[in-house]
Structure 1
Amino acid sequence: MISLETLREMPFCSIIVNARGIIISLSGLSDQKLSEKIKIGMLIQNGFEKWETEKHSKIVRAQVDSMHYLFLREILCTSNEDQFVFIGVKTSEIFEMQNEMKELEKLNRELDAIIENSYDGIYITDNKGVTLKTNSAIERITGIPKDYYIGKNVDALIERGILKNSVTYKVVKQKRTVSLVQYNYAGKETLITGNPVFNEEGEIEKVVTNIRDLSDLNELQAQLRKANELNTKYKQELDRLKSKPNQTEGIVIHSEQMRIIYDTAERIAHVDATVLILGDTGVGKDVLAKHIFQKSPRSKEGEFIKVNCGAIPPDLLESELFGYEGGAFTGANRKGKPGIFEMADKGILFLDEIGELPLSLQVKLLRVIQEKEIQRIGGTKPIKVDVRLIAATNRNLKEMVMNGSFREDLFYRLNVIPIVIPSLKERRDDVLPLLQLFLNIMNTRYSLNKELDAKLIEFLFSFDWPGNIRELSNLVERLVLTSPTNTIRIEDLPVEYRETGDIPHFAASSIVSLKDAVEMAEENVLALALKKYKNTYDLAKALDTSQPTIVRKLKKYNLKTEQHS
């Protein structure tokens, strides 16, 4: 049943009939054709061309000309005889309403998606502070499910300690946007901004609050500061490397391999990790160990002590390393003697030829590394020592571990930072700078003024140097001392070198500077290599250098590969 008061408030056309179907009242007939056809006093069905009642339904389908209507039949509440009302609407209007509803639903979905996918928390209340809507971001920020907030007043949330303060009431009171910073229930620093939503009368009906997690922003700012600090540090390091000379404290680091090795050495100099230096005899393992010591803080507190494990008899090596107490054995000093580990306290102990260390002493060395303490021969109390170890060998320790002549646990304790120094023949870029270095040293040492013939320089550059740097240094000293003239020629080489058959047929019409000789040797070697190798990558691999270096050198000497001839 429906009342007249309700009927008047409806925005639809209505036709009131009596129990016999006679029209007794009309309202809302905005359509002209319908108002012309339908009159008071006539049977309602006579006013329509089509009047169909659905079975067991209050719905009536009607038609006037080409206009279709749907009517809902209801009993009208009056004090008179039974009356009925037909509430109708055009079907075209229904379709329009359906389209409008679909559009509204679409807009609502889009609005919900925007709110739900916002990175910031969104919190909507009415003007009384009752929560109407939130999004999932509020769960991430506060740690409390979003559904918990719905229907709860901000006063209750403050009492529970979930909110520290309410921006909603400040917005309602001040009728403007309000922001404040506070720590929430989860202990996160948040920026809260409340925005008022006004109705047509200018009164606040809702408050939309935006919650931003400042802890994330603060963390990003901290990471940015850290990144900027690292960038500054890297820039300083790059500037240092760019300005770094090729020779430092008598060490030649001209080749790319040696640059990498010594850069690594300087990076690890400030930590106490054990270093294992590998390489052939004479490549400069002890020089690298000293360099690490000189660059480390230990150089200001302790000593650099070198022990050649293969040069000391095994029965004496233990007492040398660990020391002994007075009377520990026949012939021992009555006062005892500290070992090398004690002497190297606060400094660096360089154990050269570690592969020669007997198995019995390997166990004791392992204990020193693990426990940071030693025990003298004949002693009963351990002695704490603060020593950084650098070990070196020209042997293959992995093979020794497999055949049982070197302890596996000791190998892994030593192999924390392995550094492999290539042989001199694998880094020929260092040969000529080393040659110049040793020549200067010998001339200064013996007050001489010797120079090298260009043909001899080429020989020394192309020689394979089985004894590596040590052999090169010894040969230069020998040539400086034995050559009869100030110009050292290839004829001054010792017999064993001249008999190698590797004497080059490079000729110079006169004595040239060492720099010119180096360039002539480089050009000659490149020209010879170009006969065998067809591209710059193969050339670089054969000459043990980088491809960009080969490209630069070929351009310098106007040489071309077959691909570019």
Structure 2
Amino acid sequence: MKIKEITALPFPIIVTEEDGLIKDYNHNAQQVLQTIARGEHLTKLVKTIYESKSYQLVSYKGKNYLLLSKTEDTEIFYMLFNGDDHYNLMEKLKELDKSNRELDAIIENSYDGIYITDRDGMTLKTNSAIERITGIPKHYYVGKNINELIRRGILKASVTPRVVETRDTVSLVQKNHNQKETLLTGSPIFNEEGEIEKVVTNIRDLSDLNKLTEQLNKAQKLNEKYKHELEKLKAHTRQDPHIILNSKKMQELFTIAERLANVDTTVLILGETGVGKDVFARHLYRVSNRYDQGKFIKVNCGAIPKDLLESELFGYEAGAFSGANRSGKPGMFELADQGILFLDEVGELPLALQVKLLRVLQEKEIQRVGGTKMKKVNVRVVAATNQDLKQMVRDGEFREDLYYRLHVVPVSIPPLRERRDDILPLVQYFIDQNNQKYEISKSFDRDLKEFCYHYHWPGNVRELSNLVERLMLTVPTKVLKRKDLPDEYHTKEEQVTMTIVDDQPQPKIKKLKEAVEDAEAETLRQAAQTWKTTYEIAKQLETSQATVVRKLKKYHISFE
């Protein structure tokens, strides 16, 4: 090509010497490269972005151009074209190359094995983790069909055919030839036409996970064992924070509990309502060997309707009665097997059930409601009552033989007024408990604590607990005082001082039991005049019908 011929060409042309100095150019080149001049070096005119043997990608004033070159003798002819498309293509290739490198790094560094095949099962790629899991170098798999590898025994099975068949993710667990348990999860890769192009299989070695799970289970079991031992140790050393034992009487009682802990004799806990009979029963359980063998099951005999009490205690067979569970239900005795069954308010047991309870205590076996077979149970029974069982025996309301079976080791919990050394520690315990429970910060002043110490507490620990919680929730001030007491406690303040002086003569007043009985008898007389049946009286007075019958008989009250 002659230099003079370039002026006739319809696209930009630049002619340079071999050393790159611009020798000539046409009008089209001058329109694109306005600052072009003869004798100037081409590399100073344009910035090279990319260069190969046949072309260059250059930029001039922010625009991209493609330079195609041809050498003739000592001259180089450059044809100039728009390079934006080529530049964009190169940028995409760079991004794609970067993504491929990142993807390769992710696949290679994955802890799980990655196995990629085409839809026909030909292995395309895998990573180094496959060597750790199978013991076979990764390059051995590449280029081989999975069916061939299965025939050779290298693979046990493959999810690829099932993924292609179902067009969905498929998982299976198998042991490989190294006897390692592995989880294989194959996922399909679709092309633009919606056809499966590749299958990516994730291979996870479950042996390490199984070992960790086993170690965790062992650690949890060991933790539970240590927890049980610590609870027993705390109970034996009286370090249980939920038990207050400042008074000598309570210390002696809980010492008795430790002596009785590992003998299976029946214990009858006596005491007024709210003294903590259930706390003593739970302590007896915690310090016994049964703590590690069975559960502590509590049954309030007065809170369960008498027609349901039998099925609750002894369980029932399928179809024993209308509405019964189809598969039957175990009773409390079965649930407490190897443990302790705590029968609270045992005096409320109907006479018919007392016979069955006696049989369990004597024979150590139960029979479900609707059942025909006897079942052996190993249960220690601890009973509690605030009633006079001996008087109930005389009144014919409690079986004498059951009374003596329960009364093997009677333990009487003294009322709070007879163990005043426990009152202030209990007050502080309930304050701390409620502060934590309700996320508050309150306290009692000295005068209010003195009131608590001197008050006679007819409701015992339960009344004390309720009063502390009531004051902390209803009084807005942080320091609670005696004036914050409810009205019913203000009217009794004078009685308080009469009960606390040990060596001084006290006023001549009725004993609390006599006062309670007088009030009880008067209430029942009024009720007998108002209502006509014991069921109505029981409903209105919110107590059991059996209790109403017993009390009417006790006070010789009849319907008019």
Please give the TM-score of this superposition, normalised by the length of structure 2. 0.47
Larger radius of gyration: 1
Please give the TM-score of this superposition, normalised by the length of structure 1. 0.46
